[in-house]
Amino acid sequence: MQARKIALLLSILPGLGQFYNKQWIKGLLFLGFGISFFVVFGDLLNMGFWGLATLGTEVPRDNSIFLLAEGLIAIIVTIFGLAFYYVNLRDAYKNGQRRDENRPMSSLKRDYQNLIAQGYPYLISGPSLFILIFAVIFPILFSFALAFTNYDLYHSPPANLADWVGFDTFAKIFTVDIWRSTFFSVLGWTVIWTLVASTLQVALGIFMAVLVNQKDLRFKKFYRTVLVLPWAVPGFVTILIFAGLFNDSFGAINNDILAMVGIDAIPWLTDENWTKLALILMQGWLGFPFIFLVTTGVLQSIPDDLYEAARIDGASIFAQFRNITMPMILIATAPVIITQYTFNFNNFNIIYLFNGGGPSVPGSTAGGTDILVSWIYKLTLQSSQYSLAAALTILLSVFVIAIALWQFRRTDAFKEGA
Amino acid sequence: MNRAKFFRLLISHAILIFMAIIIIYPLLWTIGASFNPGNSLISTTMIPQNPTLDHYRELFAGSESLQYVQWYLNSLKISLFTMIGAVICVSFTAYAFSRFRFKGRQNALTLFLLLQMIPQFSALIALFVLAQILGMMNSHWLLILLYIGGLIPLNTYLMKGYMDSIPMDLDESAKIDGASNTRIFLQIIMPLSKPMIAVVAMTGFTGPLGDFILASTILRSPEYYTLPIGLYNLVNDVMGASFTTFAAGAILISIPIAIIFLLLQKNFVSGLTAGGTKG
């Protein structure tokens, strides 16, 4: 048998293949790592996988949520273990191959130097990966896992156990009447909100940029500074200010502005449709300056020759705008514009800070202007319906990912990154 | 022709002045409110009859439920460390992706792409549940770690795109002169990536400052609040009751940020579009 195969087979126990290759120190290191892996993580792996499978069997000894968390950490640890195992197998195989071909084995010193040279990118991106795994990936996996349990107020530790229920929660969203109607009304408003509010802010931003950028307009600097202000002031501050301005009984909009023109007070915060209108107007106010800034940058980079040539050909101002200005703007700002839509789809702050998603709708866990994100937030923090919230999170993530993928295919950003 | 031009400009100015009023009115109104005596919105007028600095004093008086100075410091601390952490993590990782071809690079890039699509609040339920059970409540460092984690995927992509546009020849000639990888990074790549680093630093600093959802999940006691949560509670505990104090607090946070934004706007926009079109 060839040495590489023997070394590979022996390496099923980490280190043995290296011993066979007469690389004693390396073999000891691998063996040492292998043993300590099981010594350190043995309990965690054992508990973790058992817990993940059963979510606990006895109250109050077992805590389903702990067990689930431990199980997920066990999976992550296992993946790292497997990666290490793969390195071990590969090293034994590679060196066995060198023996077969009668080449000198790589010395420990060379291996070390190699590791330093090749390991550099791993070394500098390692911390990021570590943070990503524990601050982003683990919580997301945990949330997703909850969607397949029945974890809620009545199935929570320490008094009760939660259990795996498969796709029950998803099925319930579409079959239980009150859930289905709430889900679809929230989803509907989320989509309308995203489309209308984002389009308004984009259109307003582009329009203002074109307006200010007219060659013969004076006071450009003043207008630019003023128009950028809503972007410069922190968003949460402005939203809370607007909540005060729109207040039904004390707010300045009802009391000063509308009263001045003789319009009766409008129930901005208590009537669903008026709240929606207020939200969309506010988002227009908050969001257009950024588009304005980006578009202004684009406009200033369009060469004058283009317009010159068009004028000589007798194109009207309108034709110049339609055939030169607009395409230039849209091409350059398309990625920024799309992010406005995805941003608003998840724009929790404006919905929640303005009116808490209200006015409340009787018999429903979602308020009249709740979008999916704020509904999930309420389900989690206020009514402890964790599994429902988790299932909705998954549905929403699928939706967002689908749109993002579509966008990436269109902008070819992915191809470039590859 | 001249007539048409006159009307065009007249209408333009009319629209712009109208927009300017809409933008400035709420801001002026807030400034006015902060100087108004009394607490409620009812008596608030834009130009107060007898202006007072009471609300500003109240902010710094340090009562149990209104620890404005503490919130300000908390926010500054969280934003500052998130910014530093994000810039370090993102620029090193982007450098690795941009300049080295290592095993797993492609998988890591795909992972980053996927993670930047999944909204971070997906983790909300997990954070809420785990923070409660594990007693990680009120931990600023946990929050900072979460913010950094949330910033890494997208910003690494932007930064990588930017670094890709820096010619390789520069690295190579430095390498011939015997410079180490880290040195090339610190002395060549970093200085050339300044506009993009400014963008990452800016998002790192302002992101936590505007975040409500994650911070409100983890921070529960007033002394740990950040400004958004503190101010929100100030307004909403008794609606309208402390609006004038809120206005004063809002102004003190808005002015420094607005000035920074206005000064850096050129950097911000050019960096973002440059990285954005590169992907």
Q: What is the pLDDT of residues A74-120, one digit of tens each?
A: 898 899 889 888 888 888 888 888 888 877 777 777 777 777 777 88
With CA atoms as reference, the chain A residue closest to B276 would be: A335
pLDDT-based confidence at residue A414 (cuts at 50, 70, 90): very low
From the list A244, A390, A408, the residue facing B125 with the nearest CB is: A390
Task: Kindly list the residues from chain B whose CB atom is less than 8 angstroms away from the CB atom of residue A228.
Answer: 261-262, 265
Judged against a pLDDT cut of 80, whether residue A158 lies above it is answered with no
CA distance B262 to chain A (A): 7
Q: Are B238 and B25 in contact (CB under 8 A)?
A: no
Residue B258 parent element (H or E): helix B243-278
pLDDT-based confidence at residue A207 (cuts at 50, 70, 90): very high
Q: Does B155 touch chain A (CB under 8 A)?
A: no
Q: CA-to-CA distance for A153 and A161, rounded, in angstroms?
A: 11
- Counting one residue from chain A and one from chain B, the pairs whose CB atoms sit within 8 A come to 265
Stretch 38-77 of chain B: residues touching chain A, C-beta under 8 Å? 40-42, 44
Task: Kindly list the residues from chain A whose CB atom is less than 8 angstroms away from the CB atom of residue B16.
Answer: 208, 211-212, 223, 227
Q: Does B125 touch chain A (CB under 8 A)?
A: yes
Of the candidates A375, A369, A370, A367, the residue with the CA atom closest to the CA atom of residue A393: A375
Stretch 1-20 of chain B: residues touching chain A, C-beta under 8 Å? 5, 8-9, 12-13, 15-16, 19-20
Contacts with B52 (C-beta within 8 Å, 6 or more apart), sequence order: B35, B36, B37
> Domain locations in chain A?
3-166, 171-417
Q: Does B89 touch chain A (CB under 8 A)?
A: yes
Q: What is the pLDDT of residue B78?
A: 95
Task: Kindly list the residues from chain A whose CB atom is less than 8 angstroms away from the CB atom of residue B100.
Answer: 120-121
Q: CA-to-CA distance for B166 and A188, rounded, in angstroms?
A: 45
Q: What is the pLDDT of residue B276?
A: 43
CA distance A1 to chain B (A): 30
Q: Are A151 and A157 in contact (CB under 8 A)?
A: no
Q: CA-to-CA distance for A117 and A132, rounded, in angstroms?
A: 24
Q: CA-to-CA distance for B224 and B73, rounded, in angstroms?
A: 10
CATH code linked to domain A171-417 = 1.10.3720.10
* Residue whose structure tokens are 């087979």: A9
Residue A315's identity, in one-letter code, is: A
What fold characterizes domain B63-278? MetI-like fold (1.10.3720)
* Residue whose structure tokens are 């408003």: A189
Is the Cβ pair A294, B117 closer than 8 Å? no
Q: Does B206 touch chain A (CB under 8 A)?
A: yes
Residue A375's identity, in one-letter code, is: W
Q: Are A245 and B26 in contact (CB under 8 A)?
A: yes
Q: Is the dihedral of CA A14, A19, A24, A26 positive or negative?
A: negative
Q: Are A234 and B254 in contact (CB under 8 A)?
A: yes
Q: HEC profile for B157-215?
A: HHHHHHHHCCCHHHHHHHHHCCCCHHHHHHHHHHHHCHHHHHHHHHHHHHHHHHCCHHH
CA distance B97 to chain A (A): 8
Q: What is the pLDDT of residue A188?
A: 93
Task: Indicate the average pLDDT of chain A.
Answer: 85
Residue A296's identity, in one-letter code, is: T
Q: Is A360 helix (H, G, I), strand (E, B) or coil?
A: strand
With CA atoms as reference, the chain A residue closest to B218 would be: A381
Q: Which tokens is A157 given? A: 């530790």
CA distance A233 to chain B (A): 5
Is the Cβ pair A137, B115 closer than 8 Å? yes
CA distance A228 to chain B (A): 8
Q: N- to C-terminal Cα distance for chain A?
A: 41
Residue of A91, A131, A338 to mutate, testing the B interface (most B Cβ within 10 Å of its Cβ):
A131
Judged against a pLDDT cut of 70, whether residue A253 lies above it is answered with yes
Residue A162 or residue A312, greater confidence: A312
Task: Kindly list the residues from chain B whose CB atom is less than 8 angstroms away from the CB atom of residue A356.
Answer: 236
Q: CA-to-CA distance for B12 and B8, rounded, in angstroms?
A: 6
From the list A138, A335, A353, the residue facing B276 with the nearest CB is: A335
Residue of B41, B75, B87, B121 to mutate, testing the A interface (most A Cβ within 10 Å of its Cβ):
B121
Q: Is B226 helix (H, G, I), strand (E, B) or coil?
A: coil
pLDDT digits (tens, 9 = 90+) for A213-249: 888 888 888 998 899 899 888 889 999 989 888 888 7
Q: Which tokens is B161 given? A: 């795109």
Angle at which helices A235-245 and B243-278 pack, to 10 degrees?
130
pLDDT digits (tens, 9 = 90+) for A284-336: 999 999 899 888 888 888 888 888 888 888 888 888 888 888 888 888 788 78
Q: What is the pLDDT of residue A418?
A: 36
Contacts with A129 (C-beta within 8 Å, 6 or more apart), sequence order: B108
Is the Cβ pair B118, A333 closer than 8 Å? no
Q: What is the pLDDT of residue A415?
A: 45
Is the Cβ pair A124, B106 closer than 8 Å? no
> Domain locations in chain B?
2-56, 63-278
Q: Does B258 touch chain A (CB under 8 A)?
A: yes
With CA atoms as reference, the chain A residue closest to B228 would be: A236
Contacts with A410 (C-beta within 8 Å, 6 or more apart), sequence order: none
Is the Cβ pair B254, A405 closer than 8 Å? no
Report chain B (279 residues): mean pLDDT per 10 consecutive residues. Answer: 83 92 90 79 67 81 79 93 95 92 86 81 82 79 91 89 86 86 89 86 88 88 89 72 82 88 75 49
- Does the pTM of the predicted model rise above 0.90? no
Neighbouring C-beta atoms of residue A43, cutoff 10 Å? 12
